[in-house]
Amino acid sequence: MRIAVVGSGYVGLVAGACFAELGHQVVLVDNDERKLAELQRGECPIHEKFLPELLERHRGKSLDFTGDLADAVRRSQLIFIAVGTPPKDDGDADLSYVESVAQGIACAIDDYKVIVEKSTVPVYTNSWVRKIMLLNGAPAELFDVASNPEFLREGTAVADFLYPDRIVVGADSDRCADLLAEAYQPLVDGSYFKKPGAIPGPVTSPFKATLLRTSAKSAELIKHASNAFLAMKISFINAVASVCEAVGADVEQVREGIGTDSRIGRRFLSPGVGYGGSCFPKDLLAFRSVARENGCHFGLLDETVRVNEEQRNRFLRKVRKALWTLKGKKLGVLGLAFKNGTDDLRESPAVSIIKSLVKEGCSVTAYDPAAMDRAAEEFGPNTAVKFASGPYEALEGADACLVLTEWEDFAALDLARVKQLLHYPIVVDGRNLFKPALMEAAGLNYYSVGRPDVVGERAVTIKASLKAEAARQNEAA
Ligand code: UGA
């Protein structure tokens, strides 16, 4: 099929590269000249597993990049809109980019096309896109508008696209739904899975994706409701973690106990510093706003957001509990991205926690395996935040180590070395990356989420004896 994808952010770029991988002829449209030039040179602007391989495989063959929307529209049967829908001050999604793309498509349309909303948008966007197209002179018989939400997670977006739990085709006419469904045929009939050189997925047995046909409005709601439900699971376990802390229980045991109930499931029940990223925070606010505008009180969404915000404050209180006063303290921070596997800092709990700590007079040396360049831009020439070239360097001489992103590499750190490098043997872990017993054995004071603190005189005594030993060695030297 001939496909145009408008917007080459996370969603558009992954979708475009994956449609090319499925055998379609794809043109990616963006108005950012710098980004287009990068893509044309073969550079991958985001850290996303398998994306560089796909761009390399299809660039200049079945995947082109252009700034010319009208030309891309004329060349395509399906036009996916994947531009940004950032939140406005009141939480509503700003749909002005979607509107201007719809205007552009309307002016160029010359043959029957399906316009597909791929960006996360509130219910009714579909009808608005249709109205805008008509107002801009697009003949009604030359287009339909469908909603095809994506469920990609950053870091695993390519595999999520090629091995989805479901594909939602939201359309109000068969002609439109059939054309959109055809784009996913290699996933639905299982032929992609069998293709030599197929990107490996999380499945070993033959894979066929489930395709759900719904109305356009239902598809729009499915996206918001899915993200809200996942965020609610995270806030739920974070609230349970607070109760665990209050009563001396272990949230990891409680999580196992509830997650093994197949009706609840284990996934998205990891407690931590709260959810971040470009999707959950924005989508929760947008969904709440849709509910309100339509006269529905959805207090569960308010509470999900409140628990999430409180989780960052709880972490700050833990740092204070571990270190007493904060002014002048030197902190080694492991992790900056909003989660592992990505270099994305948008709404990252790590960034907001670091900013709060700096406000309190701390200085920070941070390390992240992927997000260092973006972090340097985010914090600018702020002298209170420095960056290290590795995790151990970040901890050298720090009064405490703070773990803020769940990178697997951090879990494999040599704890004896960590202890040796730290000024005080204190680790405050916002992601429960370590086993408390191992931290205790390593002589570290350890504060995590929803689990009893490991605070031993032992840790302090060992540190004191190490210092005394070092002093003796110095004297001897
Ligand atoms: C999320 C959804 O998972 C995707 O299905 C959806 O397509 C995407 O939003 C979107 O709307 O575009 P993403 O934002 O990439 O994907 O990240 P997640 O893996 O969902 O994680 C979101 C946040 O929740 C991260 O900060 C993560 O650390 C946190 N999290 C996740 C937890 O604190 N606990 C968990 O158990 C899981």
147-179: per-residue pLDDT in tens?
999 999 998 999 999 999 999 999 999 999 999
Q: Examine the residue annotation and report whether 244 is marked as an active-site residue of this protein.
A: no
Residue 414 CA, ligand 1 centroid: distance in Å: 29
Inform me whether the pLDDT recorded for 469 exceeds 80. Answer: no
Q: For residue 151, give the ligand 1 atom closest to its CA.
A: 7
Q: Please state which of the ranges 23-27, 95-99, 248-252, 461-465 shows the lowest mean pLDDT.
A: 461-465
Same domain assignment for residues 284 and 323: no
The stretch 339-366 carries a mean pLDDT of: 96
* Helix, strand, coil tally for the chain in percent (to 5): 50, 15, 40
Residue 187 CA, ligand 1 centroid: distance in Å: 23
Q: What is the CATH number of the domain that holds 235?
A: 1.10.1040.10
- In the three-class reduction of DSSP (H, G, I as helix; E, B as strand; rest coil), residue 66 is classed as strand
Same domain assignment for residues 112 and 188: yes
- What's the Cα-to-Cα distance from 315 to each of 282, 402, 445, rounded to whole Å? 22, 10, 15
Q: For residue 153, give the ligand 1 atom closest to its CA.
A: 15
DSSP H or E segment with residue 162: helix 157-162
d(CA 14, CA 28): 10
pLDDT of the residue at 470: 60
Inter-residue contact 99 to 125 (CB < 8 Å): no
d(CA 182, CA 286): 31
Range of the domain at 286: 223-308
Out of 165, 183, 214, a domain closes at 214
Atom 35 of ligand 1 has which residue's CA nearest to it?
A: 268
The stretch 229-254 carries a mean pLDDT of: 98
The stretch 429-437 carries a mean pLDDT of: 97
Q: For residue 154, give the ligand 1 atom closest to its CA.
A: 15
Atom 1 of ligand 1 has which residue's CA nearest to it?
A: 153
Inter-residue contact 349 to 274 (CB < 8 Å): yes
- In the three-class reduction of DSSP (H, G, I as helix; E, B as strand; rest coil), residue 81 is classed as strand
Residue 345 CA, ligand 1 centroid: distance in Å: 13
Inform me whether the pLDDT recorded for 459 exceeds 70. Answer: no
Inform me whether the pLDDT recorded for 360 exceeds 80. Answer: yes
Pocket of ligand 1, beta carbon within 6 A:
120, 150-154, 227, 230, 234, 268-270, 272, 275-277, 279-280, 283, 338-339
Same domain assignment for residues 266 and 378: no
Same domain assignment for residues 331 and 460: yes
Query: For the chain, how many structural domains are there in total?
Result: 3
pLDDT of the residue at 467: 59
Per-residue pLDDT reduced to its tens digit, 211-221: 999 999 999 99
Out of 308, 326, 343, a domain closes at 308
Same domain assignment for residues 393 and 266: no
Inter-residue contact 269 to 282 (CB < 8 Å): no
The stretch 390-405 carries a mean pLDDT of: 98
The stretch 88-97 carries a mean pLDDT of: 84
The stretch 68-82 carries a mean pLDDT of: 97
Same domain assignment for residues 56 and 89: yes
Inter-residue contact 364 to 386 (CB < 8 Å): yes
pLDDT of the residue at 465: 53
Same domain assignment for residues 414 and 299: no
Best probe residue, ligand 1, of 227, 273, 336, 345 (max atoms within 8 Å of C-beta): 227
Same domain assignment for residues 304 and 182: no
pLDDT of the residue at 471: 66
Inform me whether the pLDDT recorded for 460 exceeds 60. Answer: no
Catalytic residue among 279, 296, 362, 401: 279
Residue 111 CA, ligand 1 centroid: distance in Å: 39
Inform me whether the pLDDT recorded for 121 exceeds 90. Answer: no
Atom 29 of ligand 1 has which residue's CA nearest to it?
A: 275
**What is the reported pTM?**
0.91
The stretch 117-139 carries a mean pLDDT of: 92
Out of 286, 308, 330, a domain closes at 308
The stretch 59-69 carries a mean pLDDT of: 96
Same domain assignment for residues 18 and 140: yes
Residue 361 CA, ligand 1 centroid: distance in Å: 31
pLDDT of the residue at 468: 61
Inter-residue contact 453 to 446 (CB < 8 Å): yes
Same domain assignment for residues 294 and 323: no
Residue 280 CA, ligand 1 centroid: distance in Å: 7
The stretch 83-93 carries a mean pLDDT of: 83
**Which is higher by pLDDT, 124 or 331?**
331
pLDDT of the residue at 91: 75
Same domain assignment for residues 399 and 410: yes
Q: What is the CATH number of the domain that holds 122?
A: 3.40.50.720
Best probe residue, ligand 1, of 273, 282, 339 (max atoms within 8 Å of C-beta): 339
The stretch 359-384 carries a mean pLDDT of: 93
Atom 20 of ligand 1 has which residue's CA nearest to it?
A: 153
Atom 11 of ligand 1 has which residue's CA nearest to it?
A: 279
Residue 145 CA, ligand 1 centroid: distance in Å: 28
Query: Which residues does residue 402 pair with via DSSP β-bridges, in sequence order?
Result: 333, 428
Atom 9 of ligand 1 has which residue's CA nearest to it?
A: 279
Residue that has been written with the tokens 């680790």 in this structure: 427
Same domain assignment for residues 257 and 394: no
pLDDT of the residue at 274: 98
Phi, psi at residue 434, to the nearest 5°? Answer: -115, 155
